[in-house]
């Protein structure tokens, strides 16, 4: 009886253990299946961290939606309509986009903007780099800070005040520029009313105002280059140009990329000097694409077509920025 009891007890124990093992194996299989079907369930701590992250990001996301994503979607929707702000919008589909191909005024405005952007980029980088090299190498101490402040001062002035100031300085009748040119026996042209001189004059005014910003950025990039690289290049027999090409440019590539992007984006969106000084004239020789958008939307009241132009400008600026990023990556990899 004792033996039978032992056997029965052992059998019950084995049965119980077997059932427990099967249950454990069954639970493990269910967990594996649940894991295979999808991601494992997050814990309460993980859910709290995710909620906290979204709460911290919500102000930036709200600003992005209100000021960037929302207006972009609204502009795209409006570009599909014809609307003069006085009557009900009429759906026209892609007609506004097709109009871009035949609108001569758009082509002129884009060409003026491209010319302005090209010369702005060349002059800002060229003159800004020369000034930064001269100040960084030849001048030190208080004079360096004085020159940095002096060059940067025009940038803190508003575009409207700068444009009005140069509008009077370049006036053909009582402007200071023509007054001193006449004293020197030089020609005194009508700078802003001559088609061949109006756009170069605006490029010069833009350079005068924004060169200090470019100069300060490039000077900061130069001061961050370690001096022992120049010492090593000098020991290898490199001259000033070789040191500049092999040391300065590669190490300043992030700074140059930042400067190029800011200059191109700012020049492509130029509006104030054209609006205040020339109103896009004479003719359309100084009409930028942004000024043309303003004229189309708020003077001709073609809001749908103006929205189409704005979207095109956005896409062009985005493409130019991507191209500059690609070129910068290639430059860094090549060097």
pLDDT at residue 22 greater than cutoff 80:
no
Residues 5, 11, 15, CA angle at the centre, nearest 5°? 145
Residues 89, 90, 95, CA angle at the centre, nearest 5°? 120
pLDDT at residue 316 greater than cutoff 70:
yes
Q: Cis check for the bond before 186: say yes or no (omega within 30 of 0).
A: no
> pLDDT tens across 62-109, in order?
999 998 888 889 999 999 999 988 889 999 999 999 999 899 999 999
Q: For 98-102, 154-158, 234-238, 265-269, which range has the lowest pLDDT when averaged over its residues?
A: 234-238
From the number of C-beta atoms within 10 Å of its C-beta (0-12, 13-18, 19+), residue 273 rates as buried
Between the alpha carbon of residue 15 and those of residues 9, 10, 18, 26, the distances in Å are 10, 8, 5, 16
CATH superfamily of 96-334: MetI-like (1.10.3720.10)
> pLDDT tens across 189-222, in order?
999 999 999 999 999 999 999 999 999 999 888 8
Between the alpha carbon of residue 130 and those of residues 94, 136, 244, 247, the distances in Å are 48, 10, 11, 16
CA–CA separation, 271 and 321 (whole Å): 20
pLDDT score, position 327: 79
> pLDDT tens across 51-65, in order?
998 899 999 999 999
């Amino acid at each position: 009886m004792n033996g039978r009891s032992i056997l029965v007890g052992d059998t019950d124990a084995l049965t119980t253990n077997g059932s427990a093992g099967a249950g454990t194996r069954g639970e493990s299989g269910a967990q594996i299946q649940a894991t295979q079907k999808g991601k494992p369930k997050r814990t309460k701590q993980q859910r709290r961290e995710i909620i906290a992250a979204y709460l911290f990001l919500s102000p930036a996301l709200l600003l992005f939606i209100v000021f960037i994503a929302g207006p972009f979607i609204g502009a795209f929707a409006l570009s599909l309509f014809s609307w003069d702000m006085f009557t009900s919008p009429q759906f026209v589909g892609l007609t506004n986009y097709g109009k871009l191909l035949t609108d001569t005024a758009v082509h002129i405005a884009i060409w003026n903007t491209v010319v302005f952007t090209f010369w702005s980029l060349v002059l800002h980088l060229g003159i800004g780099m020369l000034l930064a090299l001269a100040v960084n190498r030849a001048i030190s101490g208080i004079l360096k800070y004085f020159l940095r402040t002096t060059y940067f001062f025009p940038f803190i002035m508003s575009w409207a005040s700068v444009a009005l100031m140069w509008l009077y300085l370049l006036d053909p009748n009582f402007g200071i520029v023509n007054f001193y040119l006449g004293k020197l026996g030089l020609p005194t042209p009508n700078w802003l009313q001559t088609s061949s001189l109006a756009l170069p004059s605006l490029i010069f005014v833009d350079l005068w105002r924004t060169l200090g910003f470019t100069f300060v950025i490039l000077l900061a990039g130069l001061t961050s280059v370690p001096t022992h690289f120049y010492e090593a290049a000098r020991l290898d027999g490199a001259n000033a140009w070789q040191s500049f090409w092999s040391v300065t440019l590669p190490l300043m590539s992030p700074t140059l990329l930042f400067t190029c992007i800011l200059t191109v984006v700012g020049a492509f969106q130029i509006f104030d000097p054209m609006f205040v000084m020339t109103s896009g004239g004479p003719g359309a020789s100084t009409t930028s694409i942004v000024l043309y958008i303003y004229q189309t939307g708020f003077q001709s009241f073609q809001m749908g077509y103006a929205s189409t132009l704005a979207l095109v400008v956005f896409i062009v600026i985005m493409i130019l920025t991507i191209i500059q990023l690609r070129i910068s990556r290639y430059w860094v990899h090549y060097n």
